[in-house]
Structure 1
Amino acid sequence: MGIEMKKVTLLATALAMVAGSAFAADMPVKAKKAPPVVAFDPWDVAFGGAIMSDYVFRGITQSNHKPSVSAYFEPRYNVTKDLQLYVGVAGESISFPNRAAAEIDIYGGIRPTFGAFAFDIGVWGYLYPGGTCYFGGTGIDNAGVDQGPGCAEKALLNTNVIKKDLSFFEVYGKGTYTVNDNWSFGFTEYYTPSYLNSGAWGNYASVVGKYIAPSTVFGPSGVGMYVSGEFGRQWLGTSDSFYGTVAFPNGIKYADYNTWNIGIGFTYKVATLDLRYSDTNLSKGDCNAFTSDFAARGNITASSGTDLTAINPSGVGSNWCGATGIAKLSFDLTAMSNLK
């Protein structure tokens, strides 16, 4: 009987184990919670501002070599991670011959990316509100065109002339090839049918390069550094008769010129300090004819032809196109990365 009882006990235990396993297999298993899916937000906004010792545009000061402030606001829409649409508005303080209050920029375009290649194609409008016409005399130019009583009322002391409205637009294309985390190279191309509303077409093209130092240069401080430079050429057409001379009453062919800049920058979070050298190969005489610089002065040796050129018969010379150093402190933010 003892042996039989042991057999029965063993059989009952085995049945219980099988039944327990089957019951456990039928019990629902608690699934692991899947990580939340991050929704793709196509909208973003970039904005920022800067203060600079000199506002230089394509090698030519826009602020009479005085300090300038700027700000911008740029909403963006990311169609995909490789295709962005954008519009923007920006403003800079300036010192123009027509006493315009400021430069207001309105722009928009598209930024497609293909691997290491990034492109930017769009339209840029430059507005200069608050301008005054300076012509003087009878207000009739050398081609016999009456510029109106508003232009005849005022004249610059150095005999330069300037229109009330200098607003214009450009179409542009830019491309950047990123070699690695440290090196990138690019190009720019801008075209306008009337540069500064002068009647002269303008075409600007340049090549750019940038080197970003490894993040270990300044250790864990968070400070970054880069070196960048640009070499460009500005081609210009013939102005309308407003800027004509006795020799060229229907307008002057502005001088084409080269411009270049090189600088070093330091970054910390959203701040950038950029220190840059800029220059052109424009003579003082041709610079004066192009800019109508209100601060330009006659050269005491003008009779020897120092600042006299075919398009600048007055002998007045401008330093707006010469070598200059620029210090710029800027702050750039995007809502997605900086405000969340």
Structure 2
Amino acid sequence: MRKVALLATALAMVTGSALAADMPVKALKAPPPPAFDPWDVAFGAAVMNDYIFRGVTQSNHQPSVAAYLEPRYNVTKDLQLYIGTSIESISFANRPAAEVDIYGGIRPTFGAFAFDIGVWGYLYPGGQCADNTLTVVGGVAVPGGGVCPVSTTTIFLANGNVMKKDVSFYEVYGKVNYTINENWQVGANEYYTPSFLNSGAWGNYASLTAKYTAPSTTFGSSGVGMYVSGEFGRQWFGTTDAFYAVAAFPNGIHYADYNTWNIGIGFTYKVFTLDLRYSDTDLNKGDCNAFTGAFNGTGTTNVTPINPTGVGSNWCGAAGIAKLSFDLTAVTNLK
């Protein structure tokens, strides 16, 4: 009798285990994926000891500040539309209040290739016509009457240079960046304008870039990142209109084409970047003066076909740039 009871107990345990295994288990519901928000906005600001644009100072080798705002719309994770505006403090011969940029374009990505195609407008509000002639009006010598209309608001440049009141212009551009691996990137850029600085001379700029980003463990767990980057570019020009003519070229001058290059090292921490860079060009001081119309150009020995006065400018020479900036996006940094 005892054996029968033990056998019944064992059968009950086996049967119970089998039934338990066959019972359906209610699966836990997976959390819904985060909703795709296509809108984003990037913004930031910078302070630098010199504002260099394609090897040429825009701030007379003096400190400059900048800020930008860029709304973005992500059609998909691989296609972004954007518009933006930025402002930089500058120092030109015609003394505009600032450089105000307005731009927009599209950024498609195909695997390791990232493209950027758009239009960039450079606006220089508040400029005045810069002349090298004084005209007597009512017994008073006032600037103007040479290439600028006679006006009490015209700027007189004693070094013989001139500059239009409005030098605003636009460029169309295309960029491509190729990510080789998590450390290396290379790229190419192309910009074209029908009238660089509203001079009447077309401009074409092309460059190659490279960037090495150090492994995130380079500085341990400090959160500090580092990169090294460089660029080599060439700027081509057409012929200006008659405003910038000289005796040998009464219809306008052909700005000198030039090469420019820069190399630097940067350090990042959270949203901040410190970039230390060397920049230079192969423009001589005479052709640089003809191109920039620098208000502080000096000398008489820098004679070139397009710069017969011999005035020279150092605005296109070697420069060291230290730039501290911060950059944020609403999706990444403010949520």
Relative to the length of structure 2, the TM-score reads 0.90
Q: Which runs of 5+ in 1 are unaligned?
A: none
* 1:180-235 deviations in Å (ceiling 9; x for gaps): 01111111100000000111100000001111111222111111111111010000
Matches of 1:11 and 1:339 in 2, distance apart? 68
* 1:120-172 deviations in Å (ceiling 9; x for gaps): 00000000011011123465558xxxx43338943212121111111000000
Q: How far off its partner does 1:44 sit?
A: 1.0
SS of aligned partner of 1:220: coil
* 1:303-323 deviations in Å (ceiling 9; x for gaps): xxx301111111111000000
Matches of 2:94 and 2:152 in 1, distance apart? 11
Give the root-mean-square deviation of aligned CA atoms.
2.4
Q: Which moved more, 1:168-177 or 1:242-251?
A: 242-251
**1:319: which partner in 2?**
314
Residues 288 and 317 in structure 1, CA contact (< 8 A), matched pair in contact too:
yes
Matches of 1:287 and 1:164 in 2, distance apart? 20
- Give the one of 101, 112, 119 matched to 1:116: 112
Q: Which amino acid aligns with 1:169?
A: Y
Residues 264 and 276 in structure 2, CA contact (< 8 A), matched pair in contact too:
yes
**2:260: which partner in 1?**
259
Q: How far off its partner does 1:40 sit?
A: 1.3
SS of aligned partner of 1:317: coil
Q: Which moved more, 1:324-333 or 1:33-42?
A: 33-42
Residues 133 and 151 in structure 1, CA contact (< 8 A), matched pair in contact too:
no
SS of aligned partner of 1:263: strand
**1:288: which partner in 2?**
289
**1:334: which partner in 2?**
329
Residues 94 and 155 in structure 2, CA contact (< 8 A), matched pair in contact too:
no
Residues 185 and 212 in structure 2, CA contact (< 8 A), matched pair in contact too:
yes
**1:66: which partner in 2?**
62
Q: How far off its partner does 1:31 sit?
A: 2.7
Matches of 1:15 and 1:256 in 2, distance apart? 96
TM alignment of 1:136-147, pairs within 5 A: 136-137=133-134, 139=144, 147=148
Query: Whose radius of gyration is greater, 1 or 2?
Result: 1
C-alpha spacing 1:16/1:94, structure 2 compared with 1 (3 Å): same
Residues 128 and 154 in structure 2, CA contact (< 8 A), matched pair in contact too:
no
Matches of 1:148 and 1:69 in 2, distance apart? 33
C-alpha spacing 1:153/1:72, structure 2 compared with 1 (3 Å): closer
TM alignment of 1:45-64, pairs within 5 A: 45-64=41-60
TM alignment of 1:1-340, pairs within 5 A: 29-135=25-131, 136-137=133-134, 139=144, 147-150=148-151, 153-297=154-298, 299=299, 302=300, 306-340=301-335
Residues 141 and 244 in structure 1, CA contact (< 8 A), matched pair in contact too:
no
Matches of 1:214 and 1:83 in 2, distance apart? 28
Matches of 1:214 and 1:23 in 2, distance apart? 55
Residues 219 and 225 in structure 2, CA contact (< 8 A), matched pair in contact too:
yes
C-alpha spacing 1:78/1:16, structure 2 compared with 1 (3 Å): same
C-alpha spacing 1:10/1:220, structure 2 compared with 1 (3 Å): closer
Q: How far off its partner does 1:30 sit?
A: 3.0
SS of aligned partner of 1:77: strand
Q: Which runs of 5+ in 2 are unaligned?
A: 136-143
Q: How far off its partner does 1:33 sit?
A: 2.0
Aligned length, in residue pairs? 326
Matches of 2:184 and 2:10 in 1, distance apart? 72
Question: Identity of paired residues, percent?
Answer: 74
Q: Which moved more, 1:17-26 or 1:193-202?
A: 17-26
Q: Which moved more, 1:156-165 or 1:198-207?
A: 156-165
